Amino acid sequence: MKPNRRQFIASSLLSAGALSLQVSAQDKTKSSAEAQTISLRGRVVCMTEELQKLYQVIADCDIRGHVYTLKTNDDKFYPFLPVDIAAAVWMDERYRQRDLQVTGRIFPQGQFIEVIRFQSWNNGKLHDLYYFCDVCQISSHKPGPCDCCQDPFQFRETPATEENAKHAE
């Protein structure tokens, strides 16, 4: 008898939880309805330093850190949201040296870009940027030890797969 009662309580808790999840999911859909997925070409700059050149902003990057930003070819600035999927911009200077194609989301509340995928233009061809462990055949979006064997991930820049190339167009 006892286990049954416990089961009943557990399942009613579960459905109450599921209900509140459903409600918050609906709220989320409402507020992010206008998020837009875009693909932009440009280079990584520090917004503070760019604005220092243009408007004499007093930069303090040594203490406050750089504001890494995608500067598109038409001179628009899209600061990177500091999410994990964008970590390579902070962790690996190669991402700050390349001609990038960034797929991501922008939001009605501001110009920040949430990175979905980093690609690069190399000799006129689109390349995928990522990290890979040859031993375990695992890929990652940022440097660090392999989740499986703990050897460091190796940086890769390989011609974009057809599917990824389509997204960038």
Residues found near Zn ion in the complex (CB under 5 A): 46, 48-49, 61, 66, 133, 135-136, 146, 148-149
Q: Which is nearer to Zn ion, 48 or 103 (CB)?
A: 48
Q: How many CB atoms lie within 10 A of CB 160?
A: 19
The C-alpha angle with vertex 133 and arms to 131 and 139, in degrees rounded to 5, equals 45
Q: Which is nearer to Zn ion, 41 or 66 (CB)?
A: 66
Q: Which is nearer to Zn ion, 66 or 105 (CB)?
A: 66
Shortest Å, Cβ 113 to Zn ion:
18
Shortest Å, Cβ 128 to Zn ion:
19
Residue pair 42/72 in contact by the 8 Å Cβ criterion = yes
* Collapsed DSSP state (helix, strand, coil) of residue 38: strand
* Collapsed DSSP state (helix, strand, coil) of residue 5: helix
Residue pair 58/36 in contact by the 8 Å Cβ criterion = no
Shortest Å, Cβ 46 to Zn ion:
3
Shortest Å, Cβ 79 to Zn ion:
12
Q: Which is nearer to Zn ion, 9 or 148 (CB)?
A: 148
* CA dist list (Å): 34 to 2, 10, 23, 85: 50, 38, 19, 21
Nearest to 143 by CA among 85, 96, 88: 88
Shortest Å, Cβ 30 to Zn ion:
36
Q: Give the whole-angstrom CA distance, residue 49 versus residue 67.
A: 9
Q: Which is nearer to Zn ion, 49 or 114 (CB)?
A: 49
